[in-house]
Amino acid sequence: MNEINEAVSEENNNADYPNPVYAWYCVGVIVFAYFFGFMDRILVGLLTPAIQKDLGFSDTQMGVIQGLAFAIFYTLFVIPIGLAADRFNRKWLLTAGTTIWSLFTAGFGLVRGFWGLFSMRVGVGIGESALNPCSASIISDCFEPRRRAKAYGIYVLGTAFGTGLTYLFGGWLIKFTGAYSDKVSTFNMPIIGEVASWQAVFIIIGIAGLIPAILLALTVREPSRKEVSTKQNKNATWSEIFKFISENKRTIICHNLGVAFILMSIYGWVNWLPALFIRVHGWDVPQFSFWYGIFGGLGGIFSAVSAGYVTNWFKDKGYTDGTMRAVLWGSIGLTIGTIIAPIMPTPELTIIFFVLAGCFTNWPTSQALFALNEITPNQIRGTIISIYIVVIGIGGAGLGPLAIGWVTDNIFNDPSQINYSMSLVTLVMGTLGCFLIHNGLKPFRESIDRSNWK
């Protein structure tokens, strides 16, 4: 069997890309969907105090609902979805995923009890498993290689807008429905009737998430595939996939595990940040949501927009590993800021340091996807990205929130010490992540050299 990285033909290299205006429109619709996907995740953390007040869950139980319930099935489905993205229409796969996670988000507001909430988070994870493999593959076929770093940076703007608007709009919605942490209240929904106020928030957001699904179905076209090797089968075999992984195993291990450790910190503090301000600083959810929504959102937007420029700056300086250098420096800045922020003595200083950390948040996330696309031929991009999603899904989204909840319950044994839990988890995981990413720079350069379609 031919090498997986055989040179592509001149015709493929010069294949027509979509009109730039339309290409950016496609990114905009995908970002809109990503915004709701990320909002679904943040809402659980934002409403954790109200859920705990109503249902009496411990921090460890909430860590399972926030993370593992979502991540286990997210990771189980992401590889078959990635294989499907390499073979079938990615636009329809993404439309179906967006519809599924939105319906299960609404369903989260219709059930009560640990296992009912667990099962709804499972459904959200299944739906969101289509997001990154399909989106990353579609974007790669909409933009020439030079413009992709910026396109992936804008794609991750969905997380920045999702963060800022979830806190702003979510805080307003919590105030409107009365879903405070210090009391159990109800809200009368049309057709559905009376539900707990926190449930009403999930129902409203879940229904709204169907809007990007409709836009994907009606206005986005499936792009033609670029950078397809002409000296191998259209659909790569498992032996070719395993051969590629074997040749690039050091790069993949350092990349995937390193970013997973960094994402443990990100998902951990995103989910527990509202509880930190309530327990340590005495703020309520709407107050926290307003201030963090404004400044945290701006920091995230800066991070997403700057990520591609940082990568291109490194490349212009002659660093062939510029993409992974952006991942590394973003991880360092994020880790330092997130170690310091939780243990600041005042809420104002805590927000300032979390915002500073947030200015680096999207460098690792967006450029890690771009890095995989740089070394992987089109036939197996969905599969390789899916493997990456499995690792970061379990390690980041799954274990990050759980780690902080478990440390609070079992090491500090005091809910008011959650600030020290957040700082400790970030110190350990962030340091490991930066170490692995740094040690992956040399093998990444070697992988780039083998990607001879460039």
Instruction: Look at residue 325 in the predicted model and tell me its pLDDT.
Output: 95
**pLDDT computed for residue 228 by the predictor:** 56
The confidence score (pLDDT) of residue 182 equals: 61
| Top-confidence range, 150-159, 170-179, 324-333 | 324-333
Instruction: Tell me the pLDDT tens digit for each residue of 349-387.
Output: 999 999 999 899 888 988 888 888 888 887 787 788 878
Question: Which residues, 6+ apart, have CB-to-CB distance to 185 below 8 Å?
Answer: 177, 178, 179, 196, 197
What is the rounded average pLDDT of the residues 255-272? 89
The pLDDT value recorded for residue 159 is 66
pLDDT in the model for residue 11: 39
More confident residue, 397 or 282: 282
The CATH superfamily label for domain 16-223+238-450 reads MFS general substrate transporter like domains (1.20.1250.20)
- The pLDDT score that the predictor gives to residue 452 is 60
Residue 328 CA, distance from chain mean position: 17
pLDDT band at 437; cut points 50, 70, 90: very high
pLDDT for position 5? 40
pLDDT of 105 above 50: yes
pLDDT of residue 323: 92
Query: pLDDT-based confidence at 348, cuts 50/70/90?
Result: very high
pLDDT at 12: 44
The pLDDT assigned to 4 comes to 38
pLDDT band of residue 15 (cuts 50, 70, 90) is: low
Task: Quote the mean pLDDT of the chain.
Answer: 84
- Residue 345 is predicted with a pLDDT of 94
pLDDT for the residue 14:
44
At residue 187, what are phi and psi to the nearest 5 degrees? Answer: -140, 135
Identify the pLDDT of residue 233. 52
**332 has pLDDT over 50:** yes
Distance, CA of 149 to CA of 310 (rounded, Å): 9
Evaluate if residue 118 carries a pLDDT over 50.
yes
User: What does the domain layout of the chain look like in residue ranges?
Assistant: 16-223+238-450
Residue 194: strand pairing partners: 188
d(CA 271, CA 112): 20
User: pLDDT at position 352, please?
Assistant: 93
User: Ranked by mean pLDDT, which of 117-121, 128-132, 187-191, 357-361 comes out on top?
Assistant: 117-121
The string of pLDDT tens digits covering residues 375-421 is: 888 778 778 887 888 888 788 777 888 889 899 999 999 989 999 99
Please state the rounded mean pLDDT for residues 286-296.
Answer: 86
pLDDT of residue 189: 85
Percentage of the chain exceeding pLDDT 70 = 91
Whole-angstrom Cα distance, residue 91 to residue 165? 26
With a cut of 50, say whether residue 114 has pLDDT above it: yes
